[in-house]
Structure 1
Amino acid sequence: MNNDYTVAVLGLGAMGLPMATRLASKLTVNGFDIAEPRLKLAKEAGINTFDSAQAAARGADALLLAVRNSEQLDEVLFGVNGVAAVLSKGSVVILTSTVGTEAIPATVARLADFGVELVDAPLSGGPVRAGEGDLLIVVGATPAAQRQAAPVLELLASTLSIVGDNPGDGQALKTVNQLLCGVHIAAAAEALALADALGLDQAKTLAALEAGAAGSFMLSNRGPRILEAYTEDGAEVLSRLDIFVKDLGIVGKAARAAGLAAPVAAAAEQLFLLGQAQGLAAEDDSAVIKVLAPTQRHTS
Structure 2
Amino acid sequence: MGGMRVAVIGLGSMGLGAALSLLREGIDVRGCDLSDAQRNRFASENGQVFDNPAAAAEGAEAVLLMVVNAAQTEDALFGAGGIAKAMAPGGVIISSATMAPDDARALAAKAEGQGLLYLDAPVSGGSVKALAGEITVMASGSQEAFAAADPVLSAIAAKVYRLGDEAGLGSAYKIINQLLAGIHIAAACEAMTLASKLGLNLETVHEVITASAGNSWMFANRVPHILAGDYTPHSATDIWVKDLGILSTIAGKEKFPLPLTSAAQQMFLATSAAGMGRDDDASVARLIARITGVKLPGTEED
Residue matched to 2:300 = none
Cα contact 2:193–2:296 (8 A) shared by 1: no
Task: Tell whether 2:189 aligns with 1:192.
Answer: no
Deviation at 1:166, TM superposition (A): 0.9
Q: Return 24-33 or 192-201, whichever deviates more.
A: 24-33
Query: Secondary structure of 1:76's partner?
Result: helix
Structure-1 residue corresponding to 2:120: 120
Q: Work out the CA distance in 2 between the residues paired with 1:45 and 1:162.
A: 31
SS at match of 1:178: helix
Aligned residue identity for 1:245? V
Give the distance between the partners of 1:81 and 1:186, measured in 2 at CA: 35
Give the distance between the partners of 1:297 and 1:55, measured in 2 at CA: 50
Q: Distance in 2 between matches of 1:299 and 1:150?
A: 45
Which sits farther off after the overlay, 24-33 or 48-57? Answer: 48-57
Instruction: Tell me if structure 1 keeps the 8 A contact 2:20–2:42.
Output: yes
* SS of aligned partner of 1:213: coil
Shift in alpha-carbon separation, 1:268–1:37, aligned structure 2, 3 A? closer
- Offset at 1:143? 1.1
Instruction: Figure out how many residues of one structure are paired with residues of the other and give that number.
Output: 295
Provide the C-alpha distance between the structure 2 equivalents of 1:137 and 1:217, rounded to a whole number of angstroms: 17
CA distance in 2, matches of 1:51, 1:290: 35
The verdict on how the C-alpha distance between 1:185 and 1:38 changes in structure 2, with shifts beyond 3 A counting, is closer
**Would the alpha carbon gap of residues 134 and 81 (structure 1) be closer, same or farther in structure 2, given more than 3 Å must change?**
closer
Distance in 1 between residues matched to 2:265 and 2:66, nearest whole Å: 23
Give the CA deviation at 1:16: 2.0
| Partner SS for 2:241 | helix
Aligned to 1:214: 214
Partner of 1:239: 235
**Correspondence for 1:264:** 260
Aligned CA-pair RMSD: 1.9
Secondary structure of 1:4's aligned partner: coil
Task: Determine whether 1:291 maps to 2:290.
Answer: no
Query: Do the aligned partners of 2:70 and 2:97 also contact (CA within 8 Å) in 1?
Result: no
| Alpha-carbon displacement from aligned partner over 1:51-102 (angstroms, at most 9, x marks no partner) | 5321221111100111111221121112234211112221111111212223
Q: Which moved more, 1:190-199 or 1:39-48?
A: 39-48
CA distance in 2, matches of 1:226, 1:154: 33
SS in 2 for 1:103: helix
Greater share of helix: 2
Structure 1 residue 217, shift from structure 2 partner? 1.0
Q: Does 1:140 align with 2:137?
A: no
- Contact preservation (8 Å) 2:271, 2:284: yes
User: 1 CA distance for matches of 2:239 and 2:114?
Assistant: 31
Q: Does the Cα contact within 8 Å between 1:88 and 1:115 map onto a contact in 2? A: no
Q: What TM-score results when the alignment is normalised by the length of structure 1?
A: 0.92
Q: Which residue of 2 aligns with 1:97?
A: 97
Query: Gaps spanning 5+ residues in structure 1: where?
Result: none
The answer (yes or no) to whether the contact 2:122–2:170 under 8 Å persists in 1 is yes
How high is the TM-score relative to the length of structure 2?
0.91
Give the direction of change, closer, same or farther, for the CA distance of 1:195–1:25 in structure 2 (3 Å limit). Answer: same
Deviates more, 1:280-289 or 1:104-113: 104-113
Counterpart AA for 2:135: L
3-state SS, counterpart of residue 9 of structure 1: strand
Deviates more, 1:35-44 or 1:279-288: 35-44
Q: Is the 8 A contact 2:226 2:296 kept in 1?
A: no
1:152 is matched with 152
Equivalent residue letter for 1:182: G
Give ranges in structure 2 of 5+ residues lacking alignment. 298-302
